[in-house]
């Protein structure tokens, strides 16, 4: 009985093993030969078609793997477009791309922070130019935030927008067709491309729109070598281009400044620039015609930020400070440094504003140690610029940026106070404690010096008494008539005055 039970169990195990082997062989034949699966009808044709398309895409994306012998190309599913493909496709200098000779669209955003999915865009501005960089239309609008981020959510980073300005402002979903129309047929030009791209793509996603990829130019991708400046911050570019740029500025001011850089960029790199894609087409049903000199404003800015008093010394140092690696690689750090430079140029203690910006950076995922490292790097660049300014003649770039000749010599007490105020604003008050102010010169002792002159001048003599003054020798004490030299030089000495002689009686005249 036990032997029969063992035979039955062995037969069941053999049947299960045979089924597993047959299933695996069928799967392997279906994966290696999709045509056989389609002829056998063992799978749905839609999945087979997708598999064939994905295999074709995999072979097309890597021709070296498809043509090589022995290497098996593995088909990977392609995610939905709009999540992996960036909205802005940046220009390059290689020959594999499309050239562009049409219009350009400089775009600028004013946001409440540095995290695209947590913060909002409060102002959007577009300055459209022709192929040579000359403005032909300006577009500016305020945007009502779609979600609240606390009390600071209705204010931009530099507090240039009042909450009253956003009461009647439209949402981006209402203005998305107009924005797409302005960007259609043009190359998008940005200052910090990664920062603007993150917020712009988020706006379109929240509005339920997946636009086509757009060719783009980003000023920070070219670096300071293109303009011959130490950095590409807004204040430095405005000084280099000699363009009036208020501090703090609106989104329209930023867009105009970015558009003002286009003639320099196109004159140097225009023929060699190529783009990964062509400009987006004009949306269907669009009837708006862009007219030269036109301007469209969809939001009313009731509060214009007052112009701050820019400290010339700190402004010159910030214009001469070099870029850091973090600014080039992290878009949030680049935007944060831009805002910090604006606050430091105001020439006052701005610790509260800096703390507010630090909280917004923390919301974007930056730790306190990273923020301190960013502040220390900025202060160290200020130290280097100050030493370079005082110990050596101004370089060619600095002399072009400065509005007046830069002096050389030791740091004055006022300049050192400005540096320490900047360190206090950034939360590192003792950063410049190693810098000692110049000693006060000691007053010289009386009688010292090369000519042995007293330190104080002698008192003036007292005015003389009122005495007669001689008109001949100009001496006091006598008149001209009693001057000793008057008589000898002309008629001799003058004797005493003789009394007049008396005249006798007159005799009458008679006959002779």
Residue 488 Cα distances to 477, 480, 485, angstroms: 19, 12, 5
Residue with tokens 């010339």: 312
If asked whether residues 282 and 325 sit together in one domain, one would say no
How many CB atoms sit inside 10 A of residue 155's CB? Answer: 17
If asked whether residues 142 and 232 sit together in one domain, one would say yes
If asked whether residues 227 and 360 sit together in one domain, one would say no
If asked whether residues 286 and 400 sit together in one domain, one would say no
Q: Is residue 377 part of a domain?
A: yes
Element (H, E) at 106: strand 103-111
Q: Is residue 14 part of a domain?
A: no
If asked whether residues 180 and 263 sit together in one domain, one would say yes
Which of 370, 404, 425 is at the close of a domain?
425
β-bridge mates for residue 190, sequence order: 218
If asked whether residues 270 and 346 sit together in one domain, one would say no
Q: Is residue 5 part of a domain?
A: no
If asked whether residues 196 and 164 sit together in one domain, one would say yes
pLDDT digits (tens, 9 = 90+) for 391-422: 655 444 444 444 444 444 578 888 888 888 88
For 255-294, give the DSSP string.
HHHHHHTHHHHHHHHTTT-BBSSPPPPPPTT------TTE
Structure confidence at residue 9 (pLDDT): 64
If asked whether residues 146 and 255 sit together in one domain, one would say yes
Tally of domains within the chain: 2
Q: Is residue 149 part of a domain?
A: yes
CATH no. for residue 280?
Answer: 3.30.420.10
CB 202 within 8 A of CB 117: yes
pLDDT digits (tens, 9 = 90+) for 349-386: 677 888 888 889 998 888 989 999 999 999 999 988 88
**DSSP for residue 216:** E
pTM (2 d.p.): 0.66
Distance, CA of 486 to CA of 474 (rounded, Å): 12
Distance, CA of 16 to CA of 264 (rounded, Å): 76
Which of 407, 425, 443 is at the close of a domain?
425
Residue with tokens 């501090």: 247
Residuewise pLDDT in 10s, the chain (512 residues): 556 556 666 666 666 555 545 544 444 444 333 333 333 333 333 332 332 333 333 333 333 333 333 333 333 333 334 344 689 999 887 767 889 989 999 999 999 889 998 888 999 999 999 999 999 989 999 998 876 544 444 677 777 888 878 888 888 999 998 899 899 999 999 999 999 999 999 999 999 998 989 999 999 888 888 888 999 999 899 999 998 888 888 899 999 999 999 999 999 887 888 999 999 887 665 555 454 445 666 666 766 666 666 778 888 888 888 888 888 888 899 999 999 988 888 766 677 888 888 889 998 888 989 999 999 999 999 988 888 876 655 444 444 444 444 444 578 888 888 888 889 888 888 888 888 776 777 776 766 655 555 556 677 777 766 677 777 777 777 777 778 776 554 555 556 666 776 767 777 777 75
Domain that holds residue 380: 312-425
If asked whether residues 130 and 265 sit together in one domain, one would say yes
Q: Is residue 4 part of a domain?
A: no
Exposed / middle / buried, residue 501 (Cβ in 10 Å: 0-12, 13-18, 19+)? exposed
Structure confidence at residue 43 (pLDDT): 34
If asked whether residues 262 and 354 sit together in one domain, one would say no
If asked whether residues 114 and 261 sit together in one domain, one would say yes
Beta strands in 112-221 (DSSP E): 121-129, 135-142, 186-190, 214-218
């Amino acid at each position: 009985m036990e032997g029969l039970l063992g035979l039955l169990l062995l037969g069941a195990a053999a049947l299960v093993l045979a089924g597993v082997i047959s299933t695996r062989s069928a799967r392997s034949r279906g994966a290696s030969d999709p045509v056989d699966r389609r002829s056998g009808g063992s799978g749905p044709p839609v999945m087979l078609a997708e598999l064939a398309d994905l295999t074709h895409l995999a072979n097309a994306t890597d021709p070296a793997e498809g043509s090589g012998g022995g290497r098996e190309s593995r088909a990977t599913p392609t995610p939905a477009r709009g999540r992996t493909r960036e909205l802005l496709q940046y220009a390059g200098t290689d020959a594999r791309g499309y050239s562009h000779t049409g219009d350009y669209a400089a775009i600028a955003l004013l946001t409440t922070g540095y995290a695209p999915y947590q913060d909002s865009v409060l102002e959007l501005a577009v300055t459209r130019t022709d192929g040579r960089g000359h403005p032909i239309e300006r577009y500016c609008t305020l945007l009502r935030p779609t979600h609240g981020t606390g009390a600071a959510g209705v204010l931009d980073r530099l507090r240039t927008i009042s909450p009253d300005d956003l009461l009647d402002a439209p949402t981006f979903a209402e203005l998305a067709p107009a924005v797409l129309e302005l960007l259609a047929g043009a190359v998008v030009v940005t200052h910090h491309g990664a920062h603007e791209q993150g917020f712009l793509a988020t706006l379109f996603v929240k509005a339920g729109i997946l636009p086509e990829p757009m060719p783009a130019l980003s000023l920070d991708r070219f670096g300071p070598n293109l303009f011959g400046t130490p950095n590409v911050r807004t204040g430095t570019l405005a000084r280099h281009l000699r363009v009036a740029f208020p501090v703090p500025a609106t989104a329209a001011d930023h867009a105009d400044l970015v558009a003002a850089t286009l003639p320099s960029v196109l004159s140097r790199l225009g023929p060699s620039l190529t783009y990964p894609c062509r400009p987006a087409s004009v949306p269907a049903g669009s009837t708006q015609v862009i007219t030269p000199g036109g301007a469209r404003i969809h939001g009313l800015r009731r509060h214009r930020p007052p112009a701050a008093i820019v400290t010339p010394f700190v402004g010159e140092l910030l214009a001469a400070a070099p870029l850091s690696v973090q600014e080039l690689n992290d878009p949030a750090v680049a935007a944060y440094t831009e805002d910090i430079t604006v606050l430091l140029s105001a020439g006052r203690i701005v610790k509260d504003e800096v703390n507010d910006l630090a909280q917004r950076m923390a919301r974007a995922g930056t730790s306190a140690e990273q923020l301190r490292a960013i502040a220390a790097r900025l202060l160290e660049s200020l130290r280097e610029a100050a030493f370079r300014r005082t110990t050596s003649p101004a370089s060619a770039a600095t002399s072009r940026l400065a509005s007046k000749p830069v002096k050389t010599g030791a740091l004055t007490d006022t300049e050192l106070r400005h540096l320490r105020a900047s360190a206090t604003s950034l939360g590192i008050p003792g950063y410049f404690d190693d810098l000692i102010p110049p000693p006060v010169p000691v007053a010289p002792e009386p009688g010292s010096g090369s000519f042995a002159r007293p330190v104080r001048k002698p008192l003036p003599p007292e005015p003389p008494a009122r005495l007669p003054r001689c008109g001949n020798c100009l001496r006091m004490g006598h008149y001209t008539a009693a001057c000793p030299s008057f008589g000898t030089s002309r008629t001799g000495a003058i004797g005493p005055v003789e009394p007049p002689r008396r005249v006798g009686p007159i005799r009458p005249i008679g006959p002779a």
